[in-house]
Amino acid sequence: MNDFALIGPILAAMFAAATPLLFAALGELVVEKSGVLNLGVEGMMLVGAVCGFAVTIQTGSAVTGFLVAALAGAATASLFAVLTLFLLANQVATGLALTLFGVGLSALIGQGFVGIPLEGLPKLYIPGLTDLPVVGQALFGQDIMVYLAVAAVPLVHLFLYRTRAGLVLRAVGENHTAAHALGYKVLRIRFLAVLFGGAMAGLGGAFLSMDYTPMWAENMTSGRGWIALALVVFATWKPVRAMLGAWLFGGVTILQLHVQGLGIDVPSQLLSMLPYLATVLVLVLISRDVARIRLNAPACLGKLFHPDA
């Protein structure tokens, strides 16, 4: 009886836990589809998290906070873009450096904000619907950012597969030499994609610090940026699959918290590993189809491009 009553809150918490991943993964998906591998997601999320938090504290406006978080993420990403796209730095090394940079920078900015509580975003309440048993809270009782993240999935999908701009972006990621020969501005398209990825990572980070656990702590993303990166690959660069992966991660995160709460005699460190393990395992299993990977993986991923070469 007790267990049954738990399902509703667990479901609701699952969607919230999945939201930061979903933002970051969707952003990175677009970046990778354009042929750029930005491993700095974790760093961009942290910068977004601390900037969003700080601005919300100062101004009292969560909207401003999220806007600034997106801008801060994009600004961090632009550093990566200039280094890799225009100065031809290695993308893997630069991405790793960007993460380290983001960890340090966010800690510096956040020094004066540790331990200050913040009120999360208001939750939706629709009389009747939100009160529905089991699914009411999960479907009709979330805050605006959770819905925005889910809405971004079909939007990204439509952009990539139904618009000309999306087609050009995929073409650039597939064969930058041919795209250049046809007259497309490879570097400009990639630059914009990287900025979008940064903004989305910033939003994901800000959701953590302003809403999910409304406070700032150093390194509070605790590896979610890396999971977002893994999600993109295992989702074979498909937005809907990335969403399912994010939900899975969110679901296992919440479940293991409840299991820890029940006091079952398993080391908590093992349980904390579970969401990461389960997500990777399940995604590996469903992405074994070689043809699907071949069809969706951007062939120029991580390759440097120079227009005159």
Residue 55 or residue 193: which is nearer to another protein going by CB?
193
Residue 119 or residue 289: which is nearer to another protein going by CB?
289
Residue 258 or residue 303: which is nearer to another protein going by CB?
303
CB of 182 to another protein, least distance (A): 6
CB of 100 to another protein, least distance (A): 29
Residue 170 or residue 190: which is nearer to another protein going by CB?
170
Residue 150 or residue 293: which is nearer to another protein going by CB?
293
The DSSP string of the chain is: -HHHHHHHHHHHHHHHHHHHHHHHHHHHHHHHHTT---TTHHHHHHHHHHHHHHHHHHH--HHHHHHHHHHHHHHHHHHHHIIIIIS---HHHHHHHHHHHHHHHHHHHHGGGBT-----PPPP--TTTTTSTTHHHHHHS--HHHHHHHHHHHHHHHHHHHSHHHHHHHHHHH-HHHHHHTT--HHHHHHHHHHHHHHHHHHHHHHIIIIIS-SB-TTTTTTHHHHHHHHHHHTTT-HHHHHHHHHHHHHHHHHHHHHHHTT-SS-HHHHHHHHHHHHHHHHHHHT--HHHHHHHS-TTTT----TT-
Residue 170 or residue 224: which is nearer to another protein going by CB?
170
Distance CA 228, CA 38 (A): 11
Note the residues at the interface with another protein (CB under 8 A).
Answer: 164, 167-168, 170-171, 174-175, 177-184, 290-291, 294-299
CB of 183 to another protein, least distance (A): 3
CB of 171 to another protein, least distance (A): 5
CB of 228 to another protein, least distance (A): 23
CB of 303 to another protein, least distance (A): 12
Residue 160 or residue 231: which is nearer to another protein going by CB?
160
CB of 301 to another protein, least distance (A): 12
